[in-house]
Amino acid sequence: MANLKRRVEELERQLAQRPGYSVQFDEDALAIYNSMSYLDATLAPTYDDVQPTPVYARGRELRNARYGPIIPAHLDGHIKRYTRASGEFELAFGREPKAGDMLRFEDVLVLHSTENYARQLGRMIEAWQRQLPHLTCPLKFEDGRLFRRLTPERRGAEPKWEEDIRIQPAVRWLKIQEVNANTDFETMLTTSALVFLGVADVKHQCRPVSEEDLLRAGKESPIKEPTGFMFGNQRYCELLVEVFGA
């Protein structure tokens, strides 16, 4: 009993020494952490400026507690199966696609709406201004357009703002390999939907839909307002697959 009492007292002492966080700080920390995948080496400031801050550390702690720690890419089966098409489907429906599932351009249009980005990026930018006032937020969202604050090319020059068109639904649709390969860029005629075939050679496979597919397909309603975590996770997966070849 004496040993148990000492252990309880030690645990209480450790808990008492842990810093207390307000609800606002925790919400801000998670919003900032979930957006870190949008900060690459071309921005000013960049990830390396945010990573040492207490709000980043708290965001990582909350993220890991809620969703589990990030799995190294070489051990993550989800990353190995991931493609741009499967990533858009997962963002739309909250799960990986299976054979017979369909992704429509209208789903991508709903997901990457101005309203969704205004909500998610607006939340992150407001959190940044509260918690990191000593750093200029490298993202801004104005009139439905995302701008990135780029690192100057010459020493002593001022950073410049440049529009990031990669969030636009039409751009995201054309970035899907199977869509791009079936698009006539002179007439801009393209497929309106993809049907998934299952996993082959590790990756999710899909093809443009046929008229028969459309006739027999049911219509699953997409998530209209994906969370900041879902957007951030999609961006993280894209970086791993496209930049690092995961």
Confidence of residue 36 (pLDDT cuts 50, 70, 90): very high
DSSP code string of 174-188: HTSHHHHTT-BTTTT
What integer pLDDT is reported at residue 73 of this predicted model?
84
Report, as an integer, the average pLDDT of 125-141: 96
**In this predicted structure, what is the pLDDT of residue 153?**
86
pLDDT band of residue 5 (cuts 50, 70, 90) is low
What does each C-alpha distance from 46 to 105, 178, 204 come to in angstroms? 32, 33, 32
pLDDT per residue as tens digits for the range 84-120: 999 999 999 999 999 999 999 999 999 999 999 999 9
Can you give the pLDDT at residue 15? 44
Asked whether the predicted pLDDT for residue 16 surpasses 50, the reply is no
Residue 205 pairs in a beta bridge with 198
Closest CA to 23 of 31, 12, 15, 34: 31
- 151-159: long-range pairs with CB below 8 Å, 24+: 151/41, 151/42, 151/43, 151/44, 151/46, 152/44, 159/44
Q: Give first-to-last CA distance, the chain, whole Å.
A: 52
Residue type (1 letter), 137: C
Q: Encoding tokens for residue 2? A: 């004496």
Contact 120, 135 (CB under 8 A): no
d(CA 32, CA 34): 6
Q: What is the pTM of this model?
A: 0.85
Task: Please provide the average confidence, as pLDDT, over all residues in the chain.
Answer: 89
- Residue 40 to residues 63, 234, 236, 244, Cα–Cα distance (Å): 20, 15, 11, 13
Whether the CB-CB separation of 142 and 117 falls below 8 Å is answered with no
pLDDT band per the 50, 70, 90 thresholds, residue 2: low
Whether residue 58 contacts residue 158, with contact meaning beta carbons closer than 8 Å, is answered with no
Query: Cα 59 to the chain's mean position, in Å?
Result: 15
Question: Strands of 102-104's sheet, edge to edge?
Answer: 102-104, 193-200, 203-208
Inform me whether the pLDDT recorded for 53 exceeds 90: yes
pLDDT digits (tens, 9 = 90+) for 68-81: 888 888 889 999 99
Is 181 buried (19+), middle (13-18) or exposed (0-12) by CB count in 10 A? exposed
The confidence band for 20, taking pLDDT boundaries of 50, 70 and 90, is confident
Tokens 């900041």 appear where?
Answer: 228
Q: Where are the alpha helices (DSSP H) in the chain?
A: 2-17, 23-34, 47-50, 54-67, 77-81, 84-93, 105-111, 114-131, 169-174, 177-180, 211-216, 228-242
